[in-house]
Amino acid sequence: MSMQDERNDMAADYVMGLLDVTQEAAADKRMETDAAFAQAVNAWRERLSDFDAFAEPVKPGAELWSRIAETTKREPISALPGARSAVLGATIWNNLQFWRTAGLASGFAALFFAVIAIGAITTSKELRRDLVALAQSKPVYVAILVNDTTKEAGAVVNAFASGRVELIPLKAIDVPPGRALQVWTLWDRSVGPKSIGLTGQSRTLQLNLDTLPETVADQLFEITLEPEGGSPIGRPTGPILFKGTTSRTL
């Protein structure tokens, strides 16, 4: 598991309340010192805010409370084995049958609560897995790349919560012989644009942002026409075919 995946999973568990007391305290402290983790936590809070907004509170029905009351109802003393002899003179402390029954009952109770606890942990993990899968199935940020001259959309960039970023052409882009399409991103003008993809044909491309900061709103993406093999200076040299900035999805 990469550091980014570990950070993302812990942030998801933190926001959904699936950490134990010790882990939650560690996460609170990490929020103060790890800016990337704090950003991941805020991203998960925004991502799951829709569930809070649309989820309706559900109250246990009367039938559930009746079942709970029925299963926890005590039997009268007369129904217990050995109760008659206890009433007739033997004290409950000397009633071996009573303690065997009580011991068996406590064993079943411990097993019952252990099963509940294991089920709760399993359910929590499954809940996180399902929510993570749901959140990662749709992009967090989207950029429509448009040609400045024709105002025609040529490609879309999707950035997902997992860190995966993809470019999908919306039309065929002509690539002359000896040339290539190079994809760039710019999030900080003081750093400058960084190359994140290179292809000799118009096709869906998985972009490489592994060494770059997490994608944010208003981050610039662009496609330029470069020499085959890419720009020789690490900066765009050819004409900008399409460009656009990211917007957060709804």
Q: What is the 3-state secondary structure (H, E, C) of the chain?
A: CCHHHHHHHHHHHHHCCCCCHHHHHHHHHHHHHCHHHHHHHHHHHHHCHHHHHHCCCCCCCHHHHHHHHHHCCCCCHHHCCCHHHHHHCCCHHHCHHHHHHHHHHHHHHHHHHHHHHHHHHHHHHHHHHHHHHHHHCCCCEEEEEECCCCCCEEEEEEECCCCCEEEEECCCCCCCCCEEEEEEEECCCCCCCEEEEEECCCCCEEECCCCCCCCCCCCEEEEEEEECCCCCCCCCCCCEEEEEEEEECC
Q: Report pLDDT for 222.
A: 97
Q: What integer pLDDT is reported at residue 157 of this predicted model?
A: 96
Opening angle at CA 143, ends 46 and 202, nearest 5:
140
- pLDDT at position 247: 93
Tokens found for residue 213: 């900061």
Residues 167 and 156: their CA atoms lie apart, in Å, by: 6
The contacts of residue 40 (CB under 8 Å, 6+ apart) are: 7, 8, 11, 214
At 193 the pLDDT is 95
Sites in the chain below the pLDDT cut of 70: 1-2, 4, 47-136, 250
- Please choose, from the candidates 186, 183, 143, 137, the residue with its C-alpha nearest in 3D space to the C-alpha of residue 162: 137
pLDDT at 148: 93
The per-residue pLDDT for 5 is 72
| HSE toward the beta carbon, residue 63, CA cutoff 13 A | 0
pLDDT at 89: 47
pLDDT of residue 165: 94
pLDDT at 86: 47
Q: What is the pLDDT of residue 15?
A: 80
* C-beta of residue 136 within 8 angstroms of C-beta of residue 160: yes
Residues whose CB falls within 8 Å of the CB of residue 230, separated by 6 or more in sequence, listed in order: 180, 182, 195, 198
Alpha carbons 52 and 50: distance in angstroms, whole number: 5
Mean pLDDT estimate for the chain: 77
In total, the chain counts a number of residues equal to 250
Query: In terms of pTM, does the model score above 0.75?
Result: no
